[in-house]
Structure 1
Amino acid sequence: MRVPKFPEYTRENYPAHGRLFGDFLCGLWATASEVLEVPVEQSVRTAQLLRALLPPWAHEPIGTAPAEPSYVADDGFPAEMSVNWSGRHPELRVLFDSLGHDVHLPAESGSRRLDRVHETFTPRGGRPSPAPLWHSIAWRPPSRIVHKTYFGLYPWPHAQREAAVAEAMARLGMAAAWDDTRRRVESVDGDREIEFFAVDLADEAQARVKIYYRNHGADLDQVNRVAAVALRHDAEDARAAYAILAGDREDAGEAALSCLAFRSGLDRAAESTTYLRLPDLAANDEQAVERTAALLHREGVDPGRFRLLTAALAPRPLAETRVLELVSYRTAGRRGDVTTYFRFPVYDRPLAPVDLA
């Protein structure tokens, strides 16, 4: 099983030492809102919602090393920010690790799906330990905020992960779709493991259940074949998008992720998203931004705001930073379905990748 082993940390990389976690994250939210030209009153209101949702660790100061390292980022920081660029208005998101604390969701968040599966991922459901719980808010102005919950399966043996996913999908009435998808994924060559199970906390017909695979040593064609398991996937279009991000490499880089999304009423995965890790595929943020901007331009999205946002979030010139961690691409019938994921190296990180046993 894969359990994160975190190194010793000696200094901060991002100017955050001494600030409260909540202030730091809400400040990033405000910065992103300003770059994305969100009206001030909407930015303030949604930042207040984010602050109210954050776990108790949000009230603690950021130290020189993580008191309780999170699996969200290599340095143990418990949160990331992302932006989806499809549609007229970009969608702004923050994902955070609950670190064992309860997250008090609004009553209108549509958490009944979560209630149906939550026990499956705990010792009461036969699991060896409670699954680490992550939560995110996603907001596309001027719509309401959407909540999502992620169960981290990475601490468990593979058999436990598979059993938990099968039981959760059965509880949600999606057992047949999962059986079909699992067989299709297993027919694709390569080494991969289930790492997360996620639920959109909404009662609408479009709400999704998502299962994430981490790929090991995969090439671009392999991750494309995994993505093609979904009902809606344009393999030729996706392959061209991956090539833009990967540059002259044919491999998918370190630990590429494949997400298969399920919707009620379908007997197989509805959509797929592939996540490529840019710090492995590009020399620095400057090169990663150029490749991502080229992909956005191909998708009909003006990359200007993306460039401004990355520069605003980076602590130093882009040639010296690696805050753009992941870029994902989905072919689900709408242009510009590209999401950029930003992580903030608050703590010193090792020169070599973090060792995972």
Structure 2
Amino acid sequence: MALSNPRHPYAAVGETPSARTGPRTTLGEHLRGQVRRLCEAAGLAVPTDGSALPLLDLLDLLGPAAHRPLGAGPPSPSFVCDDHSPAELSLALGAATPVAVRLLVEPGCTATTLEENGRIGRRALAALAARRGFSTEPVRRVEDLFFPPVMHGSFALWCAMEQRPGPNSPAGVKVYVDPRAHGRERSGEVAEEALARFGFARAWPALRERATRRGPGRDEILFFALDLGDWHIPRVKVYVAHHDVTAPQAQDVARLLPGEAADRVREFCRAVGGDPGRFAHRPLVSCLSYTGRDLERPGGHTLHVPVRDYAPHDGVARDRATAALRRLGTDAGVVDRALAAMTSRQPADGVGLITYVSLVQSTWQPPRVNVYFSPEAYAARPPRTAEPGPGGVR
């Protein structure tokens, strides 16, 4: 999922990168093309008219933003991507599972306040639920926690969908909300209460001890996420950003999972992040997922590495992603196909198209790697010619 950080604002803006688009192209047209090409790159069947792609339903959630020309700029300073594109695409890849394509959007991206953003987002989610036949009860259960009358934080609601292989495969829906809605200082309290409402009250002490032990200024609770609709094992997830962290410290969070998960995390964050010693720029992010199988400990852990802050250009980011996939024994060539689907520019000509590379581990399935892509609808950052200075990218 999207994991930008407001401490690191977008800089060094270049031209819209793809020759496939121009200033008169709308955001919806830009994203529709990328979704279809990415699905084709991943080996998913795509009808000529795209009618059987549930992912395209999400573009309707963007409302008037979908019809806005790219030349008019982003509809708001969205927290989803660095260039303020209110959408993000990703691939989920594993040796034992087919490739899945995901799309995330911010339905309320045209709003001028977080409160309005949240109202638009919930209306759009309800419309999607009516169309696809799933319940939004889990979101309503925690509305008071994440949509107070006066909202704080960086966003209100994001909605994502996962397209799985097969003509009759159901699409899973995910919703992301901000635990900082009542203020950053209350994010832990909000996350704890939200977990309790889904039956995971006993999970909070271990999460607090392992994932947030350095305090809210350095281990920051970032997102709360819910699986809606048709999931084999629906999850409740908590995301924690680890500022100025080392690989061993990130590894320690993964010890909440049994077995070799922690050892893989240490190797992964060094390989994908370029082994900087301390990840002092954009933070690493841990995601802890909870299911009804265990009410006290997470059944899944994901480490998100913001490769765009630790690689000079997307060519290096691609090489690190493909190396991680080869170690899992899965198809590494899909990353090159995905890059060609997303943009016509060369990987070495910019940095930030590949935003995150993530290691996903759970107690019920083999590890997989997720690769996240920015639509670069509005701008592309030029390649980095020097190491970023403290506090962010150059």
TM-score higher than 0.5 here? yes
Deviates more, 1:208-217 or 1:194-203: 194-203
The CA distance in 1 between the partners of 2:6 and 2:32, in whole Å, is: 31
Q: Matched residue of 1:165: which SS?
A: helix
1:105 matched residue in structure 2: 128
1:95 matched residue in structure 2: 104
Residue 228 (1) aligns with residue 255 (2) = yes
CA spacing shift, 1:68–1:7, aligned 2, 3 Å: farther
Q: Matched residue of 1:120: which SS?
A: helix
Residue 345 (1) aligns with residue 376 (2) = yes
CA spacing shift, 1:48–1:274, aligned 2, 3 Å: closer
Query: After superposition, where does 1:155-194 map in structure 2 within 5 Å?
Result: 157-187=183-213, 191-194=218-221
Residue 332 (1) aligns with residue 362 (2) = yes
> Would you say the 8 A contact 1:227–1:233 is kept in 2?
no
| Cα distance per residue 1:228-266 (max 9 Å; x no partner) | 234576111222222321234333452211111111242
| Cα deviation, residue 203, structure 1 | 6.8
1:85 matched residue in structure 2: 93
Q: Matched residue of 2:138: which SS?
A: helix
> Would you say the 8 A contact 1:326–1:340 is kept in 2?
yes
The CA distance in 1 between the partners of 2:33 and 2:89, in whole Å, is: 12
> Would you say the 8 A contact 2:244–2:278 is kept in 1?
yes
The CA distance in 2 between the partners of 1:206 and 1:233, in whole Å, is: 22
2:245 matched residue in structure 1: 218
TM-score (norm 1): 0.88
From 251, 256, 281, the equivalent of 2:284 is 256
2:84 matched residue in structure 1: 76
Query: Structure 1: which 5+ residue stretches go unaligned?
Result: none
Q: Matched residue of 2:319: which SS?
A: helix
CA spacing shift, 1:231–1:16, aligned 2, 3 Å: farther
The CA distance in 1 between the partners of 2:47 and 2:102, in whole Å, is: 18
The CA distance in 2 between the partners of 1:69 and 1:162, in whole Å, is: 26
CA spacing shift, 1:91–1:206, aligned 2, 3 Å: same
Residue 12 (1) aligns with residue 16 (2) = yes
| Cα deviation, residue 50, structure 1 | 3.4
1:118 matched residue in structure 2: 143
From 310, 314, 320, the equivalent of 2:339 is 310
TM-score (norm 2): 0.80
Between the aligned residues of both structures, percent identity stands at 27
CA spacing shift, 1:73–1:29, aligned 2, 3 Å: same
| Cα distance per residue 1:48-97 (max 9 Å; x no partner) | 43344443321222234323110011111111100001244201001111
Query: Structure 2: which 5+ residue stretches go unaligned?
Result: 110-116, 383-387
Query: After superposition, where does 1:47-86 map in structure 2 within 5 Å?
Result: 47-86=55-94
Deviates more, 1:96-105 or 1:276-285: 96-105
Deviates more, 1:28-37 or 1:12-21: 12-21
CA spacing shift, 1:232–1:75, aligned 2, 3 Å: farther
> Would you say the 8 A contact 1:7–1:350 is kept in 2?
yes
> Would you say the 8 A contact 1:231–1:269 is kept in 2?
no
Deviates more, 1:277-286 or 1:52-61: 52-61
The CA distance in 2 between the partners of 1:205 and 1:266, in whole Å, is: 17
> Would you say the 8 A contact 1:6–1:69 is kept in 2?
no
Q: Which amino acid aligns with 2:33?
A: G
1:245 matched residue in structure 2: 272
The CA distance in 2 between the partners of 1:64 and 1:130, in whole Å, is: 23
| Cα distance per residue 1:117-137 (max 9 Å; x no partner) | 12321225x855895111101
Q: Which amino acid aligns with 1:320?
A: D
Deviates more, 1:211-220 or 1:41-50: 41-50
